[in-house]
Amino acid sequence: MNLSPEAFVEVTPYLLTGLWYTLIITIIGVLIGCVIGTIFGIMRLSTNWFIKTVASIYVEVVRGTPLLAQIFFIHFGIPALFNFNFDALITAFGVIALNSGAYLAEIVRGGVQSVDKGQLEAGRSLGLNGRQTMRHIIWPQAVKIMIPPFGNQFIISLKDTSLLSAIAVTELMYQGQTYASITFASFETYLMVCVFYLLITIPASILLRFTERRLDHS
């Protein structure tokens, strides 16, 4: 046992820098993921066989492979073949967007499907067409249903950004690894890394549970 208390203090500024990147990557990545998820989620609900299959393949492949493999494939595999390179930060945004997009597509699909079928029937029987019913009746209710799983996905993606340390993106995990490899204060460093993640994820999930409860009541 040789705990060095000063390491807890020393590591903090490094981790704060990392946290900043972690948050930026998560927020931008998930926002782009929302757009992707909405498009592919709606595609999966399509009655057109082709559109549906394309969307399903995207969703299944992304959900069926580890994020780390996706990161390596995108960051090393694709440039090796096509002879172009991009900044690790671009990979970071891209991979979080692509990955969360697939999960969000399922959330969008699930949200729309879990709106009571009676709502569609009520809309259609008033004479609204499919598009109008979707827009004014189904979608607003589906979005409300999607909020909790969306929040959950945000937390998952936030934790997922830690894998970007493998391609030297200076997010929280990477900063911790670097500090630990310099000082070898591994215990103190990784404890603090966990604490920093918890500082975001715990309040986020409390907020999420609160929102969920409020939505339940309304």
Partner 1 sequence: ACGTDDTEGDADDADVNGDDTDDVEAEDEEGADDEDEEAVEDDGDENGGDGSVEGETFTVATDNNFVPFAFTDLETDELTGFDIELMNAIADEVGFEIDYEPVDFAASLSGIQSGSYDAAINAMSITEEREETVDFSDPYYFDAGIILAVADGNDEIQSLEDAEEQGATVSTRQGSTSQEYLEDNVDGIEIEAFPEITEAYEAVIGGHVDAVLYDEPNVAYHTEDLADGQMVTVGETLLADDYGIGMPQDHELVEPVNEALETLKENGTYDDIFEDYFGERPEGT
Partner 2 sequence: MIKVKDLHKSFGKNEVLTDITTEIDAQEVVCVIGPSGSGKSTFLRCLNRLEDITLGEVLIDGVNIADPKTDINAIRQDVGMVFQHFNLFPHKTVRDNVMLAPHKLKGESTREVRDRSLNLLEKVGLADKADAYPSSLSGGQKQRVAIARALAMNPKVMLFDEPTSALDPELVGDVLAVMKDLANEGMTMVVVTHEMGFAKEVGDRVFFMDEGRMVEEGTPTQVFDDTTHERTREFLSKIL
Which positions touch partner 1 (CB under 8 A)? Answer: 13-14, 17, 72, 75-76, 79-80, 83-88, 165-168, 170, 174-175, 177-184, 186
| Opening angle at CA 200, ends 195 and 201, nearest 5 | 90
Reading the block at residue 206, the tokens are 């409390």
Tell me, residue by residue from 7 to 46, as one string, x for binding to a copy of itself by CB under 8 A and - for no binding: ----------------------------------------
Estimate to the nearest angstrom the gap between the alpha carbon of 83 and the chain centroid.
29
141 makes contact with partner 2 (CB under 8 A): yes
Pair 156, 172: CB distance under 8 Å:
no
Number of helical (H) and strand (E) elements in the chain, helices listed first: 10, 0
83 makes contact with a copy of itself (CB under 8 A): yes
DSSP sequence for 157-171:
HHHHGGGGGGGT--S
Binding part of the chain for a copy of itself, among 48-56, 129-137, 140-148, 159-167 by CB under 8 A, reads: 159-167
**Which of 61, 69, 122, 195 is close enough to bind partner 2 by CB under 8 A?**
122
| Opening angle at CA 23, ends 17 and 29, nearest 5 | 135
Instruction: Map the footprint of a copy of itself across residues 180-199, applying CB under 8 A.
Output: 180, 184-191, 193-194, 197-198
What is the rounded distance in angstroms from the CA atom of residue 92 to the CA atom of residue 165? 10
Tell me, residue by residue from 198 to 217, as one string, x for binding to a copy of itself by CB under 8 A and - for no binding: x--xx--x------------
69 makes contact with a copy of itself (CB under 8 A): yes
Pair 103, 77: CB distance under 8 Å:
no
Which residues in this chain contact a copy of itself in the complex, by CB under 8 A?
A: 1-3, 60-61, 63-70, 72-73, 76-83, 155, 159-160, 162-163, 165-166, 173, 176-177, 180, 184-191, 193-194, 197-198, 201-202, 205
